[in-house]
Chains A and B, each alone.
Chain A
Amino acid sequence: MVGMSLLRSVAAIAARLTPVKSGNAATNLLVRTIPRTEKVAVRWGHGKKMFVIKPTEFYDKRFLRLLQFYILLTGIPVAIIVTSVNLFIGEAELVETPEGYEPEHWEYYKHPITRWITRNVFDSPVKDYEKMMAAIQIEKEKADMRLAQLEVRRHMRRRGDGPWFQIETLDKNLIDSSPKATPDN
């Protein structure tokens, strides 16, 4: 770029020093100071000039440009990270479990990114298993309690007596216990 401007400046100086004639082919390309009207270099100058009318490509091009931008915004960092992990931190090797050693849950995976994810993001599979078992235990207790409740309800209703079921009787204050005239009232 610097060389081009140098060349242009040299050509301008050469044009000023040597008087320009029409047929001076060497300076045709580089001179901008002296316009000449007799013979103008015309590039791509053949064929009929057309004014091409076509529908606007602005919106389509804008969409594709934005798509490319937003995909590459995270795509390039992810690609760089994954490539560098694969190049500089290799995959793990399979070895026999040493005696008396309990490996951590992430040490059962091969790829370093998987290891990182299972170490920092996910719970260990043992913990997941226990969580599931705890959920099953809670549901089992709920189901047992519901069955027991139905059983107890059935018993109380059959006996007609219990904290959950009473057969309504008359109020004892309605009973007139004053002495009556005849014994069979």
Chain B
Amino acid sequence: MPSDFDKDAYPEPPRQTPVVDKKTALPNPALILSKLFYYSVDLPVTTFREVVESIQAKNKSVYYHQKFRRVPDLTQCEYGDYLCYYEAEMQWRRDYKVDQEIVKVIQERLRACQQREGHSYKQNCSKEIEQFDEVSKNYTSRYGDLGAYASGRKCLMKQKERMMEAAQKQND
């Protein structure tokens, strides 16, 4: 089951429910509906979940986050050292995946911010928007048009092109 989101990353605004001040003797339909929903949907679902969790608590297992050692890069490999090439390529692929996940997290933050703020998101989420712009610009400049058969070599060549353009621009 998916875990709850990180409450510090997506802070909720402070609640503004007013104090109940009943002026009529009529029953409150919102209260009736919410109680109906609670007893018909919320309570059965929660009890089922608790039952299932109590059964699962007996066979609880854990999993860990795998940390990989850093190996020499493609630029640090001797010419013709195919083993070094392979290890550098694998490391590059892992880094590619990590960068994709980073972009996804930033996107998720922006989406959450927009959902929270509603119509005034352009003004209130400026920090998230700026973060997202920077991250996506860096991602496209590094991995942009590499395509489906991307490899560490092609990425290195793209970097070389970028550096050549920067040097060209500096010379002009």
Q: Contact residues of A with B, CB < 8 Å? A: 87-97, 103, 107-110, 112, 115, 129, 132-133, 136-137, 139-140
Which bracket fits the contact residues of B?
20 to 34
Q: Contact residues of B with A, CB < 8 Å? A: 1, 52-53, 55-56, 59-67, 80, 82-83, 86-87, 90
Q: Given A108-B63, A136-B86, 7 other A-B contacts at CB below 8 A?
A: A87-B56, A89-B59, A92-B60, A93-B62, A96-B64, A108-B64, A132-B86
Contact for A133 among B60, B61, B80, B83, CB less than 8 A:
B83
CA distance A131 to B135 in the complex (A): 37
Name the residue in B59, B62, B83 with the highest tally of chain A Cβ atoms < 10 Å from its Cβ.
Answer: B62
Q: Are B60 and A95 in contact (CB under 8 A)?
A: no
Given A133-B83, A139-B82: A94 and B64 interface contact (C-beta under 8 Å)? yes
CA distance A133 to B81 in the complex (A): 11
Q: Are A136 and B65 in contact (CB under 8 A)?
A: no
What chain B residues lie within 8 Å of A92 (beta carbons)? 60-63
B63 to chain A, nearest CB (A): 4
Q: What are 27 contact pairs spanning A and B, CB under 8 A?
A: A88-B59, A89-B59, A90-B53, A90-B59, A90-B60, A91-B1, A92-B60, A93-B61, A93-B62, A94-B63, A94-B64, A95-B62, A95-B64, A96-B64, A96-B65, A97-B64, A103-B64, A107-B62, A107-B64, A108-B66, A109-B63, A110-B63, A133-B86, A136-B83, A137-B83, A140-B80, A140-B83
B152 to chain A, nearest CB (A): 15
Contact for B63 among A107, A137, A140, CB less than 8 A:
A107
Given A89-B56, A91-B1: A112 and B86 interface contact (C-beta under 8 Å)? no
Q: Are A93 and B56 in contact (CB under 8 A)?
A: no
User: Closest residue of chain B to A106, judged by CB?
Assistant: B63
CA distance A115 to B62 in the complex (A): 11
Report, nearest first, the 9 A-B pairs whose CB atoms are least far apart: A90-B56, A92-B63, A92-B61, A97-B64, A95-B62, A103-B64, A108-B66, A89-B59, A140-B82
Q: Are A136 and B56 in contact (CB under 8 A)?
A: no
What chain A residues lie within 8 Å of B90 (beta carbons)? 129
What chain B residues lie within 8 Å of A94 (beta carbons)? 62-65
Q: Are A88 and B56 in contact (CB under 8 A)?
A: yes
Q: Are B61 and A115 in contact (CB under 8 A)?
A: yes
CA distance A46 to B1 in the complex (A): 58
Q: Are A112 and B64 in contact (CB under 8 A)?
A: no
CA distance A58 to B127 in the complex (A): 67
User: Closest residue of chain B to A90, judged by CB?
Assistant: B56
Contact for B65 among A88, A91, A97, CB less than 8 A:
A97
A124 to chain B, nearest CB (A): 11
User: Closest residue of chain B to A125, judged by CB?
Assistant: B66
